[in-house]
Each structure stands twice: as structure tokens, then as C-alpha cells.
Amino acid sequence: MLSFVTQKSIHQAYQRIIGMGPPVVPLILRDLEQKPDHWFWALRAITGDNPVKPEQRGRMKQMAQAWIQWGKEHGYEW
């Protein structure tokens, strides 16, 4: 049995977005800023980074904020 997040992450459309690479990072970050969602797997796959601290895991808003801050620190604009 797969979790919802795992099912979403292995979905063909989600994988295509990951395949688009770094150009989609600002779009994902903008989406996270507007409405936190399960983009963390994609961001980690694309960037090779993970700014989410262990104590933030499972807390969608905190995870989104960690990635938004990471994006700003790495010069992304959206």
C-alpha cells in the first residue's frame, strides 16, 4: 500500500514536472507561497537540497516556508 504523497510523487505528470528541471523551481515556489502543497519531493529531486529541518517534517506550512526561504536565499524570483 502506498501513501497519498508517494502515489502523487510517482504520478506521470508529477514526474514530468521534475523532468523539466530548474526552470520550474520558481513556479513551484510561487505555488507553495500561495497554497502549501506536496511539492517537496519535486523540489528535493530537482535541486538536490532539502532545507526542511527534522522538527518541521509533516508540518506543511513550515515545510513550505523553509523552501520559500531557501528559494530567496538562492536567488530565485517568482
Which ranges in 10-59 belong to alpha helices (H)?
12-19, 25-34, 40-47
Which letter does DSSP use for residue 35 in this model?
A: S
Query: Model-level pTM?
Result: 0.84
Domain ranges of the chain: 4-73
Over residues 19-64, the pLDDT tens digits come to: 999 999 999 999 999 998 889 999 999 999 999 999 999 999 999 9
Phi (first) and psi of residue 10, to 5 degrees: -95, 0
